Amino acid sequence: MSKLDIKNNEVAFYAMGGLGEIGKNMYCVQFQDEIIIIDCGVLFPEDELLGVDYVIQNYDYLIENKDKIKGIFITHGHEDHIGGLPFFLQKVNAPIYAGPFAMSLIKGKLEEKHLLRDAELHEINEFDEVHFKKLWVSFFRTTHSIPDTLGVAVHTPQGTIVQTGDFKFDQTASTGYQTDLARLAEIGSQGVLALLSDSAGAGITGASAREKDIGEYILETFKYQKGRIVVASVASNIMRVQQIIDAAVKVDRKLVLSGEDIEQIIDTAMQLGKLKLPKDLLISMEEANDLEPDQVVILETGKMGEPIKSLQQIANGDNPKFHLSDSDLVFVTTTPSYAQETEVQKTKDMIYRTGAEVKFVSDDLNPSGHANQNDEQLILNFMKPKFFVPIQGEYRLLDRHAELAEEVGIPVE
């Protein structure tokens, strides 16, 4: 997109990514000479893109209109929402607004690329408001798998545009992860011009598993496994990492961290008080090799926090630190996207060939961090928007989300 015809009093919404795909999230609201950007993520490539680490957006329009950009507002710290910032900031040095945990992760990314010194960073919370001449932005807390997840409301002269970020409703969510239902009702009662809502879970027909139940499921799995446990999880899923830590403590196993980003993310989470880690729990892989298998848990998060590819390398014997044996359990606690279904089945087969067992939480529970169909309709009823735009999802998910909106009275036109 290099040109956009916006009449003087029109409010424009457009996406640089995140429509027809899960990843590369980047959404823009524009009124006259002010542009608000929400998120700046990457897409992890499919197998056919050999040698490609990231897929990023075409930034041409934003580069041409960089003087209009007032800020980049980050909903949370997952790669598909912040991973594109180092690339975008090399083209446009726009101010960044993010919650405490996301901001800490962003600082680490920018420091790696030597961009931190020149970056304009503003830490925000759910109660803040950011005002510009014509637009202003407010926030609301939502439940997701990472701390400090925010929805964003952009207030324009024509009405409020709400972007949910990644969300779900979980009444058992712990402190720091709870959705602010009163704030949702308040925004909805004031009138919403357009709702831009997360569609990644639009295919989930049943209830999503509560985090309390997932924690108990992980603990039960740990209790009854006699050999070594290799747990695969997304590094930035702090809620899941805490559940793994808690289970290891309760069954008296030591924990080994394996993955490129996991130590930095855990350090960040601990500094911000988002993670509790007993001092004597962590050991090195060398120390683990001197213990009995039933005394060890290995937390594998892989490259860029994505564990499935890393499990394939381990199953192939390409990980120099450890190999799988027939007494191991590979326990996958992440929820692979629909686009990874073929990859997941291939990974299972590769693990079984080593003699190890493999178990996915998603085989018994639905541990998604995204809204299911009921959640998506609930937030529509909270917001009662004049217009609705499904975002973040493959085409079939966007289409299903549109049907869900029609069911609660949003006119098809």
Structure tokens at 216: 């108990």
CA distance 154 to 138: 7
* Cα distances (angstroms) measured from residue 162 to each of 91, 117, 189, 265, 359: 27, 32, 13, 29, 38
CA distance 175 to 209: 18
Residue of 155, 370, 375, 401 marked active site: 370
Q: Burial letters for 293-308: b for 16+ Cβ neighbours within 10 Å, e otherwise?
A: beebbbbbbbebbbbb
CA distance 265 to 202: 29
Other beta carbons within 10 Å of 15 = 19
Please answer whether residues 198 and 18 qualify as being in contact, where contact means their C-beta atoms are separated by less than 8 angstroms. Answer: no
Strands 357-360 and 329-332: parallel
Catalytic status, residue 318: no
Give the DSSP letter string of 45-70.
PPTTSTT---B----HHHHHTGGGEE
Tell me the residue type at 300: E
* Cα distances (angstroms) measured from residue 335 to each of 196, 211, 239, 306: 23, 13, 13, 11
CA distance 44 to 17: 13
* Cα distances (angstroms) measured from residue 258 to each of 235, 302, 359: 10, 7, 19
Catalytic status, residue 370: yes
Give Cβ neighbours of residue 43 (< 8 Å, ≥ 6 apart).
17, 21, 22, 23, 24, 54, 55, 56, 80
H or E element, residue 242: helix 238-250
What is the CB-side half-sphere exposure of residue 324 using CA atoms within 13 A? 28
Residue of 39, 166, 180, 198 marked active site: 198
Structure tokens at 156: 């324009």
Q: Give the residue numbers annotated as catalytic, written as ranges.
A: 198, 370
